[in-house]
Structure formats: C-alpha cells, structure tokens
Amino acid sequence: MKPFTKITAVAAPIDMANVDTDKIVPARFLRKARGADYGKYLFHDIRYNADGSDNPGFILNQARYRNVQILVAGDNFGCGSSRESAVWVLTDYGIRSVIAPSFGDIHYGNALQNGLLPVRLPDATVKKLRQQLHEQPGALITVDLESQTVTGPDGAVCPFDIDPSNREKLLKGLDDISLVLQNIEAIEAYEKRYHGELPWLA
C-alpha cells in the first residue's frame, strides 16, 4: 500500500450528497479484471456522454482539474455497495484524499486499505471549502496526515480526527495481514478454546 503523509494538490468540489458507489463505478464494470486502468471508469455515467465523449458539464472534465488529487464532497460519500472498485477507480484516477462530512462505513474502510485518505470534517467546514474552490477554481488544498490537518485555499487550518491505528497504518503503508498474523499465537489459542466449547462451528 502506498503510504500517505502529506499532499498539497488541486482539489475539486463535488456538489453532491449521498454519492453512492454505483455512481462512482457502475456495476457493469465490476467484472473487469483489476490491473486494467480503472481510472477510466470513475463516475462513468455522469462523466461521459452517450457517444463516449467527455460531458463538459462534469466538473472533473474541466482542464483545470486535470491534476486533481483531492475531492471535496457532500454528506455520506461512498454509501451503497461494498465494491472496493469504488476506491480503485479513485486511486487509479489519481485521487489521494476525499474530504466529506461523512462516508459510507464500508467505503471508508476500503479507502484506508488502499492509501486513499478519507477526511471527515464538519458540514459547515466542508461547505466553506467547496465555496472557496468554486470562487478560485483550481485552488490547492493541503491534507496532512501527520498533523491531522486540512489547510484550505484561504490558509485556514482545520484539524480532523482519525483512528490512531488507521493513521499509523496509512503513514507507514502497512499491510493488515501481517499485522494480524503477528498475533497468530493468540489466534490459535482463541480458536482452540472457542471451538472446544462450540465444536460444530469448527
């Protein structure tokens, strides 16, 4: 996993609440093998016209967002299905962090597994950031995981919360399986006792 420490990058306002995972990547692309360039499926049905050309009305199609790495979205970003593809399309497109008032739980967990930093900020703060991004299109935002802060285009610094162990894993790019298997003795002892009591579950 790619570690996340700090980025300063172009941020795009996504003025939608409840951006569901079907919108992030429609179900018909879920059969595509991982490894292909998943970024092209991001927001597919609102990003392209029926003939496959770019929809100029979709914000990420504007030239100034070519190097976008941060999205600032509405409430409940990534609600819906558990598809991790909804993270892969974002990371493959180049997005490193999504800022929103809240996230779908599973999507939030999936993001952390792929070096994509989901940042929860209060609703009013997020609205203000989006407003600034509209006023200064192409403006930069800094997301700093070490200091747990977001710095807006106006220089205002907003602290954010993240679970300490998730922060640690993201900063170091650690793989969860090895972290689990460090506890193999405890796991085996647990299973021996548990399945000793409830043998039909083994």
Binding mask 49-88 for other proteins (x = CB under 8 A): -------------------------xxx--xxxxxxx-x-
Binding track over 5-44 against other proteins, x by CB under 8 A: ----------xxxx-x-xx--xxx-xx-xx----------
Closer to other proteins by Cβ: residue 153 or 167: 167
- Stretch 173-192 residues interacting with other proteins (CB under 8 A): 176-177, 179-181, 183, 186-187, 190-191
Q: At its nearest, how many Å lie between other proteins and the CB of residue 67?
A: 27
Coil, strand or helix at 36: strand
Where helices occur in 48-158 by DSSP H, the ranges are: 85-93, 105-112, 123-135
92 makes contact with other proteins (CB under 8 A) = no
- DSSP for 140-159 reads EEEEETTTTEEE-TT--EEE
Contact between 47 and 54 under an 8 Å Cβ cutoff? The reply is yes
# of chain residues touching other proteins (CB under 8 A) = 57
User: Greatest CA separation found in the chain?
Assistant: 64
Among 55, 114, 148, 151, binds other proteins (CB under 8 A): 114
Cα–Cα dist 23/27, whole Å? 9
